[in-house]
Structure 1
């Protein structure tokens, strides 16, 4: 996304015919014509950092269900690089990890 890309969120109606949702839909329609208080611009690099952190958290949560996986035994925390191979580049680290799991 370019640094000055404009992101617009659009409300889409759903759950038509459900009384509580009809009320919420009407209130949402009224809000469409109101000015947003405290409109702030978000710098893409800040947003990207937050999205990446959230994705890593989701990945780690999913990864924690794979406790019987050989690779999980070697690297249970995805954020931490393998201590014994910190000086290696990505390709070398991959080779060491594959040797460790017998792949």
Structure 2
């Protein structure tokens, strides 16, 4: 057998595996039947073709069957169909994303230009829940800043608690005197300058996300 992934698929527990290929189950059934009849079989992985006579011919026949094989007798596995559905869903989601971001969610679209494969916090196991919640609200543009609270009529004014200027996200992160350390003073040298809030919130998929989470926690920023 020249496919190592096939051997792993046959070896792994079919009830715990995410991919349950019907042909792998049939092979396991045939191996079990041989075991019951006292037949000992050994499956070996052959890297490449290793100069074994007949392997080249078998490989050519397998490739030609893709183009010359009959279409009358075939079966689609669930994995084949699910792959098609996944491709269609991703394409539809991207189309809906491109159409909707020009109408609503414009700020989030400015910091998240495309659909990620996974949410950013999947790779941030070190971040507390309130830290991820704070960063998510910042990325959505619905953080509890004085400006936003004034916009939705929860506060009578938009001035920061420090009393110096409006409580925007930029002011709270970069220049508010209530911070232990302004963000500009502690940013790693690898982060390109000048830096605005949008660029900062786009970096959650980069290694700088660990620093951002630590900064939010150390300054007790709860928005």
* TM-score, length basis structure 1: 0.46
Which structure has the larger Rg? Answer: 2
Which structure would you say has the larger RCO, counting Cα contacts within 8 Å and 6 or more residues apart? 1
